[in-house]
């Protein structure tokens, strides 16, 4: 598999990850029972695992690593923040208001990660 193919897979998994999160956030806000479906709890995690695997493959293949490249460091820090906010939004937020605020904050962080990926600029 070529570097370009892995890059396209990474982008595809990233788009799917954002879409899954957005849909689950909408379901959370509307108190939908769809959030309780088994596939909804499994498929996003499988996708995110593949996204991370593609990211690691790209880093190894290109020789660009977080903490050596500022933009990759920003993506990793953003990813950690996105995961934490997403967990609050979809599971751990004590009130719906907190979950909704965390949802929109996670979407903003996701947009930042995409901006950094596209521009390779931290700010």
pLDDT of 25 strictly over 90: yes
Q: What percent of the chain has pLDDT over 70?
A: 100
Give the SS3 label for residue 1.
Answer: coil
- Residue 21 neighbours by CB under 8 Å, 6+ apart: 44, 86, 90, 106, 107, 110
Residue 55: closest CA among 74, 69, 76, 71: 76
Confidence of residue 1 (pLDDT cuts 50, 70, 90): confident
pTM of this structure: 0.92
Residue 6: closest CA among 70, 65, 61, 45: 61
Residue 29: closest CA among 121, 102, 108, 99: 99
pLDDT of 106 strictly over 90: yes
Sketch the domain layout of the chain as residue ranges: 3-119
């Amino acid at each position: 598999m070529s570097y370009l193919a892995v890059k396209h897979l990474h982008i595809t998994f990233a788009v799917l990850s954002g879409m899954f999160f957005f849909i689950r956030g909408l379901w959370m806000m509307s108190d939908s029972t769809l959030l309780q479906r088994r596939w909804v709890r499994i498929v996003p995690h499988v996708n995110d695992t593949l996204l991370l695997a593609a990211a690691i493959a790209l880093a190894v293949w290109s020789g660009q690593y977080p903490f050596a490249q500022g933009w990759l460091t920003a993506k990793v820090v953003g990813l950690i923040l996105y995961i934490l906010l997403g967990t609050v939004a979809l599971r751990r937020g004590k009130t719906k208001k907190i979950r909704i605020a965390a949802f929109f904050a996670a979407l903003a962080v996701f947009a930042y990660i995409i901006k950094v990926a596209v521009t390779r600029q931290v700010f």
